[in-house]
Structure 1
Amino acid sequence: MKKTLFTIAAGLALVVSSQMAAAQSQNCAPRDMVVKRLAEKYGESRQSIGMGQQGMVMETFASNETGSWTITVTTPNGMTCLVASGQSYEVLAEALPVMDKDA
């Protein structure tokens, strides 16, 4: 399921990348500050990472204890913006669906 979660998060990052210029004035800071804040305030650590368009890096942070999660996108210049956050994070390991071999 990590691949599925990664795919969903990466897709979200691609959609948001077009809005990054406007968002940089809101909920954005240098990456080291964002990572430190997520760890100290929410107990979140990085759970997944992926590359988006134009050198953007999407990361999912989550807390195994509280279930809180945050998706961030970092631009090539090192600015990290919060894209989404929520509760009830869990890691899943689902098998791929069976492929129809007749198709």
Structure 2
Amino acid sequence: MRKSCSALALILATCAPPLSAQTLQCGARDTVLDMLTAQDQTRRAIGLAGRAVMEVFAANDSARWTITVTMPDGRMCLLANGVAFDALDEVLPMRGTAL
């Protein structure tokens, strides 16, 4: 599950439009974490993207999810959020194998 969520976060980050083409919602890490905690979201995955930390948060009861990135200066930005989060624990097919 952890690898699946981290891979998803990395894919979303690399497929996202350039930062100059979008407006990120950022704030102090503690403030953003308080907001996510108020929504009953907990960290489900974590990974590094360059010098930034990518994290996936989700709530059990509402299936609400959020993908964040924390910059080296301590700002935490929301990259994506939504509903219907479902944690998977599956093995991906080997390279060259049809899906």
Give me the TM-score of the superposition, normalised by structure 2: 0.82
Equivalent-residue separation in structure 1 for 2:95 and 2:78 (angstroms): 36
- Matching of residues 1-103 of structure 1 within 5 Å: 1-16=1-16, 18-19=18-19, 23=23, 26-40=24-38, 42-53=39-50, 55-98=51-94
* Cα deviation, residue 4, structure 1: 2.2
Judge conservation of contact 2:42–2:57 (CA < 8 Å) in 1. yes
Higher helix content, 1 or 2? 1
Judged with a 3 Å threshold, the aligned counterparts in structure 2 of structure 1 residues 97 and 63 are, in CA distance, closer, same or farther, namely same
Native 8 Å contact 2:41 2:64 kept in 1: yes
Equivalent pairs counted in the alignment come to 96
1:16 offset after TM fit, Å? 4.8
Seq. identity, %: 37
Q: TM-score with structure 1 length normalisation?
A: 0.79
Q: Which has the larger radius of gyration?
A: 1
Deviations along 1:51-87, one digit per CA (max 9) or x if unpaired, are 002x111001100111000000110000001000000
Unaligned runs of 5+ in 1: none
- In the alignment, the residues of structure 1 paired with residue 9 and residue 95 of structure 2 have an alpha-carbon distance, to the nearest angstrom, of 24
1:17 and 1:72, CA in 2 relative to 1: closer, same or farther beyond 3 A?
farther
